[in-house]
Structure 1
Amino acid sequence: MKSVKPRRLGSKVVALGLVTAASVAMLSACSSDNGGSSDGKVNLVVAPVLPGATEDALKTLATRVKEFEKKNPDIHVKAIEYQWTASTFAAELAGGTLPDVFNVPFTDSKTLANNGQLADITTPFKQTSTADKWNKTVLNVATGDNGKVYGIPWGPYAMALSYNRDIFKQAGLDPDKPPTTLDEIQADAKTISEKVPGVAGYMQMTKDSTGGWNLATATQALGGRLETTGSDGKVTVKTDNDQTKQALSWLQKMRWQDNSMGSNFLWDWSGINQGFASGKIAMYMSGSDVIGSLMQANGFDQSKYGVTTFPVDSSNSKAGILSGGNVDVVNVKDTPEQIAAAVKWIDFYRTQPQVNESDAVTLAKSNQAGKQAVNAPTLPLFDKATWQQYQTWIKPYANIPADNIKPFNDGIFSQTIVPEPPAHTQDLYAALDAVVQAVLTDKNADVDTLLKGVDTKVQALIDADAKK
């Protein structure tokens, strides 16, 4: 989800926090023209930080630029502050003002690739040391329908089910055997609400666009899609579908039949984290890396934390788990020399810290000293062997019990990753908030009418874009 700033910014801080400090000059956003220079070097303009980046982040970036140029003396890098937006991308591409390297969200990378708006980096990508190690479900978001690679992902997360192990024990449930289906979540939530008074067995977010985000997760886990893209590129909103209705019916049963969702039905991302950390909620859906925020912002005791994969319907071939993250991509107008240099930069800046022992240990030590999550479960970038090697490096500094996160780590490699809805994602999520709230506060909520209303409202926004 794009609007959940604490999680996304957390990923960026981690990526930038792997190095020491220096200074950097930020330039206006523009590509490096033809990529050549009088001294024979390849010029690159890269955009790894957002506008308004902290001084520490800029100093860290400058150090990384110097390290890269030392290792690659034939490449000159200029770093800028830049934020990609769908509304300005086409004009920037046409006007030649895009950087050579910039990042786009998981939501948009495949569409841009299929539209021919990103550089094909397949050849230089295959020359990187990690090319054959990638988690294919992650790399897929940067792969076009033609099988070619158009970007390098970083900072991925998967939606997951977080649960309080202590509350499970109080309810007579085994915290080492968390629920693996929606029916099991419902049954465990009912048991908890009956045996541990005052605790909501299960809850989902409902406001500030998070209700739609969670509903999108449940829909896709059941094999549905809130939006579809036709062969002509036209996006059609279809929240009025069987899987979304099934997800809402599931919530209705827990709320009105089982009474296992407590009495507060207005939760945003930070609010539900606090509710969980204070012991008012036993299970909830969120990003797999949320323990980092729970520890840092809510003072949650990580020994009580449990996390598992959110259930996916194994009988539906379209079912998958919603994920998010970023993809570093290259300007489609770049020369072959620039494209090759750009891949070297992305590999150096984003990828190598995940496979380099020295950088991994440095970050782990820093997080441990700052009482931040060292081994928070995330969506693995690479194959299981590479992930296991990384876990070995950080194990001496890990501060989350391995058994507590084992259900997620064991299950995530077998789940299919599905990106977020592609068009007007935040408007769609915001519109669906009201539907989720209605289901939880009105026993007779007319789901069909509510979903049709969302379809009409968001489709109008998408159609208006097409007329511009």
Structure 2
Amino acid sequence: MKSSLKAIAAATVLFAAVGTLSGCASSSTSGSSAHGKTTIVVAIDAGLKKPAQDAFNAQVKLFEKANPTITVKSREYTWTGTTFSAELAGGTLPDVFTIPFTDGRSLIEQKQVADISSLVKALPYASKFNPAVVKNGEDASGNIQAVPIAAYGQALHYNRTLFTKAGLDPDKPPTTWAEVRSDAKAIADKTGEAGYATMTQSNTGGWILTSAAYALGGRAETKSGKKFTATVDTKPFKKALTDLKTMRWTDDSMGGNFLYDWNGINQDFAAGKIGMYISGGGNYGSLVSQNAIKPADYGETVVPLEGKDAGALGGGTLAVVSAKADDAAKKASVKWIDFYYMSTLITKSDAVRDAKTQAASQQPVGAPQVPVFDQKTYKETQDWIKSYVNVPVDQMKPYVSQEFDQAIIPEPASQTQALYGALDPVVQAVLTDKNANVDQLLSQANTSIQQILDK
């Protein structure tokens, strides 16, 4: 769904990563070429703090020095499910922008992004991608038209300070959903803050509900031949939704904000107003660069997995090039993707250079994430940059120690964002109406989603 873009990579993704940045902003035409020089407009996360802006500007200068015929300008951009289609149709996106895994196949099939497969194929690491990750950016023939820059499995993020104030051990986060509930109530009772919170709008409510259901062995849809069947009216979804209703109305442990999106929940979590919430495993980068979280507050663990077929919902961020880009702009854009997103994941000198630059700008280095390449390459990269790691690794041990042991389950394959959007009002209803009927809500949602899938 949503990675932290470059803040994860990217992620943050992403997923990872763009308005006006000092020395970088531009309203000029994208992909312009003149007198042997090419200007490209690239995406940068909206709302970055000055240290993150400085780190980005430093990267631009390095790139332009290495590529004197290319000028890089930036435009503020953060992918949002409810506005992206309009931005795409309106032609307001940069030459290089990022999308979640869920949008890759459909945009490629509809030719709404440039075909850069021949340029990507020429990259020295093109054959080294993690197959489970790169498939999200491939066309039907297996050509890479969208480059994976970050991947994630969902994680449970928690506030260690609130855990301590509630009399809980921050080194022993919950390992079951029953413990999530009891810890959330303890935090709410002892601190007055929300013990647990969840996203509910801009397709994020459905994203997180699906994440919880997957952790209980559920799936949002099944496929037989070419037909997809909606399966949200099932026990795992009912349990996940009932748990939310119980925490909200019986335990009163979810605070008073029931209209969170990704940005909003990150902001309140970083401000110490939320004890626990689910989001991508690489979210720490965004919490630092965009929300100035206090490192001492942060804790991370895996999402509790219970039952047969349980797994952590996974996703990530793809870097793509505008379909409007000409050949010169495509080449320049792929060079930027290679430099800005990929080289730090595959080349020692670039990984060290990036880690040094990020650390000097007080940006997080060494936050865990699902590897874009294989585990061996990921470990090598971590070894290269270990002297620059500045994230609270010990506070992430509950996640890191189990990250590669859990099953990562891909997001729903068909009409993903529309499916999530259909579940947003279901989550909102349960949190705002004490008499909401879980079975009825999921039955209605299942019918609506099936109609979407049938189209």
TM-score, with structure 2 as normaliser: 0.72
Q: CA deviation at 1:358?
A: 3.3
2:40 touches 2:332 (CA, 8 Å); kept in 1? no
Please name the residue that 1:448 is paired with: 439
1:206 touches 1:265 (CA, 8 Å); kept in 2? no
Q: Deviations over 1:368-413 (max 9, x none)?
A: 3433322333332223332233223333333322111122223222
**Aligned 1:204-223 pairs, distance under 5 A:** 204-223=198-217
Please name the residue that 1:364 is paired with: 355
Q: CA deviation at 1:448?
A: 2.5
From the CA coordinates, give the structure whose radius of gyration is larger. 1
Q: CA deviation at 1:450?
A: 1.9
* Structure 2 CA distance for partners of 1:452 and 1:6, relative to 1, 3 Å: farther
Match of 1:423 among 402, 415, 426: 415
Letter in 1 for 2:154: M
Q: CA deviation at 1:279?
A: 3.2
Q: CA deviation at 1:79?
A: 10
2:352 is equivalent to residue 373 of structure 1: no
Please name the residue that 2:258 is paired with: 266
1:211 touches 1:430 (CA, 8 Å); kept in 2? yes
* Structure 2 CA distance for partners of 1:50 and 1:222, relative to 1, 3 Å: same
Please name the residue that 2:388 is paired with: 397
* Structure 2 CA distance for partners of 1:47 and 1:216, relative to 1, 3 Å: farther
Aligned-partner SS, 1:204: coil
Please name the residue that 1:181 is paired with: 176
2:316 is equivalent to residue 316 of structure 1: no
Match of 2:299 among 303, 306, 315: 306
Q: CA deviation at 1:182?
A: 2.3
1:108 touches 1:422 (CA, 8 Å); kept in 2? no
Q: CA deviation at 1:277?
A: 3.1
Please name the residue that 2:134 is paired with: 139
Instruction: State how far apart, in whole Å, the 2-side matches of 1:420 and 1:147 are.
Output: 20
**Aligned 1:41-190 pairs, distance under 5 A:** 49=43, 64=63, 67=66, 105-110=100-105, 129-130=124-125, 133-142=128-137, 151-190=146-185
Q: CA deviation at 1:106?
A: 0.7
* Structure 2 CA distance for partners of 1:306 and 1:51, relative to 1, 3 Å: closer
2:346 is equivalent to residue 351 of structure 1: no
Instruction: State how far apart, in whole Å, the 2-side matches of 1:223 and 1:361 are.
Output: 40
Letter in 1 for 2:318: N
Q: CA deviation at 1:204?
A: 1.4
Percent sequence identity is 39
Aligned-partner SS, 1:412: coil
Instruction: State how far apart, in whole Å, the 2-side matches of 1:272 and 1:372 are.
Output: 21
Aligned-partner SS, 2:133: helix
Letter in 2 for 1:211: G
Aligned-partner SS, 2:404: helix
| Structure 1 residues not aligned, in runs of 5+ | 33-43, 71-75, 93-98
Letter in 2 for 1:394: I
1:26 touches 1:81 (CA, 8 Å); kept in 2? no
Q: CA deviation at 1:223?
A: 3.6
1:23 touches 1:60 (CA, 8 Å); kept in 2? no
Q: CA deviation at 1:124?
A: 8.5
Q: Deviations over 1:100-121 (max 9, x none)?
A: 9986531133456789999999
* Structure 2 CA distance for partners of 1:112 and 1:376, relative to 1, 3 Å: same
Please name the residue that 1:325 is paired with: 317
Letter in 1 for 2:411: P
Figure out how many residues of one structure are paired with residues of the other and give that number: 437
CA RMSD of aligned residues (A): 5.1
Letter in 2 for 1:67: A
* Structure 2 CA distance for partners of 1:108 and 1:14, relative to 1, 3 Å: closer
1:23 touches 1:63 (CA, 8 Å); kept in 2? no
Instruction: State how far apart, in whole Å, the 2-side matches of 1:14 and 1:51 are.
Output: 8
Instruction: State how far apart, in whole Å, the 2-side matches of 1:388 and 1:106 are.
Output: 24
Please name the residue that 1:224 is paired with: 218
Q: CA deviation at 1:416?
A: 1.5
Q: CA deviation at 1:417?
A: 4.2
Q: Deviations over 1:317-355 (max 9, x none)?
A: 7x4423231154898xx99xx999998885455322222
* Structure 2 CA distance for partners of 1:271 and 1:49, relative to 1, 3 Å: closer
1:49 touches 1:80 (CA, 8 Å); kept in 2? yes
2:150 touches 2:317 (CA, 8 Å); kept in 1? yes
